[in-house]
Structure 1
Amino acid sequence: MKQLFDFLPLLAFFIAYKMYDIYTATGVLIAATVVQIIAAKWIWNKIEKIHWITLVMVTVFGSMTLFFHNDAFIKWKVTAIYGAMAGALLIGQWVFNKPLIKAMLGGELELPHHVFVKLGYAWALFFMFCAGLNVYVAFNLPLETWVNFKVFGLTVMTLVFAVMQGFYIWRYLPKDALEQPTEKQIEQSKD
């Protein structure tokens, strides 16, 4: 459900673009992102850092798009977010010698340190690739193509990359976490 929740402002942007134009869609995106923050606080009583970062980026780049009536700013927002995420991952590893991936997933997954380091580099490279690809699509292809790429292309690419990372992580999970207890083991534990 949380993944769908994260996708809602983007979906609102897409629908507004199809019904009206990029400027209406940008306004809707700003409003939907604010609503997302409020809803996250109300539902989970917690707002993720990525939601705050997204809100700031959407508000800054969206406001410039509306003020200057120039869609280039909203196109740059995607690259700025991906660049910021790549930069944060690399700075975490190079400057602080702490993979941010471990900080984000460390409580949920037990993995060797070198696996978190590799995951951090893989995600940083992926984010840099997406940032560069966004620049190419945004400024070399029609607006309609960019909107579809932003909403669906980047979403599908991220999903596929995450699944690939899941297969990589699976090899390093503790074996006892992967094994399901048999009925006999369950019965013995009750005794």
Structure 2
Amino acid sequence: MSERKISPVVKAVLEWGPVLVFFVVYMKFKDATVMFHGTEYHGFILATALFIPLLTVCTLILWKLTGRLAPMQIATLVLVVVFGGLSVWLNDPRFFKMKVTLIYLLFAGILGLGLMLGKPWLQLVLSDNLPMKPEGWTILTKRLALFFLGLAVLNEVIWRTQSEELWVNFKTFGLMILMFAFLMAQGGLLKRYALEEDETDEG
């Protein structure tokens, strides 16, 4: 099924809204505790408990509006539900923090496997919107796989060595900024390997 187009603003709200809500709730309740069934829950767990259903609802709405979900969106939702759920159930924020590492390791592994099989799967997902020669897709896929691997390592370093608040800021804004910077840095590659109009028409 082809993807139905929706407003970029609606898409951005559905994709980034849950992350921003997590940040706002955490900042508001980071020093608070809530007693539930004899157990104390801190602000991080409260924000996580809200983030899980909110992300689920937003992802389902996105699926309903567009008619499809990218494999990475599905994988992200599954890992959020599983590891976020473990954090809430066990009252341990480490699982939710490790989730970010696992997501990027998964992405890097999928892209790396595609390259080993001679199938840059990134091309299958984005080729309609970003016409590019096969060599360009191979290079971009390698770079993105290494980038995701770097993000996984960086996340591990930050959550294990820095404060919880710094990690929340990194997750909310740092990852977004790094992703934007990476994409901007690929401008030369995209231009060098872009298909000409006649090549696109032939494809």
Q: What is the TM-score normalised by the length of structure 1?
A: 0.87
CA distance in 2, matches of 1:19, 1:166: 39
1:79 aligns with 2:101: yes
1:62 aligns with 2:71: no
Deviation at 1:101, TM superposition (A): 1.3
1:101 aligns with 2:122: yes
What's 1:52 paired with?
A: 74
Amino acid at match of 1:161: F
Consecutive unaligned residues in structure 2, runs of 5 or more: 1-7, 30-42, 199-203
Q: Deviation digits for residues 124-173 of structure 1, max 9, x if unmatched?
A: 00001000000001010000000000110011000110111233202222
Deviation at 1:46, TM superposition (A): 2.2
User: Residues 35-50 of structure 1 correspond to what in structure 2 (within 5 A)?
Assistant: 35-50=57-72
Higher helix share: 1
Amino acid at match of 1:88: I
What's 1:129 paired with?
A: 150
The percentage of aligned residue pairs carrying the same residue is 31
What's 1:10 paired with?
A: 19
CA distance in 2, matches of 1:163, 1:130: 17
Amino acid at match of 2:73: H
Change (3 A) 1:4 1:161: farther
Consecutive unaligned residues in structure 1, runs of 5 or more: 178-191
What's 1:28 paired with?
A: 50
1:115 aligns with 2:136: yes
* Rg larger for: 1
Deviation at 1:122, TM superposition (A): 0.1
Amino acid at match of 1:162: L
Give 3-state SS (helix, strand or coil) of 1:98's partner.
Answer: coil
Give 3-state SS (helix, strand or coil) of 1:70's partner.
Answer: coil
Deviation at 1:10, TM superposition (A): 0.9
Q: What is the TM-score normalised by the length of structure 2?
A: 0.82
Across the aligned residues of Structure 1 and Structure 2, the Cα RMSD in angstroms comes to 1.5
* Alpha carbons 2:135, 2:193 under 8 Å: kept: no
CA distance in 2, matches of 1:128, 1:3: 25
Deviation at 1:55, TM superposition (A): 1.1
Deviation at 1:4, TM superposition (A): 4.0
Change (3 A) 1:6 1:72: same
Deviation at 1:5, TM superposition (A): 2.7
* Alpha carbons 2:133, 2:195 under 8 Å: kept: no
- How many corresponding residue pairs? 176
Amino acid at match of 1:35: V
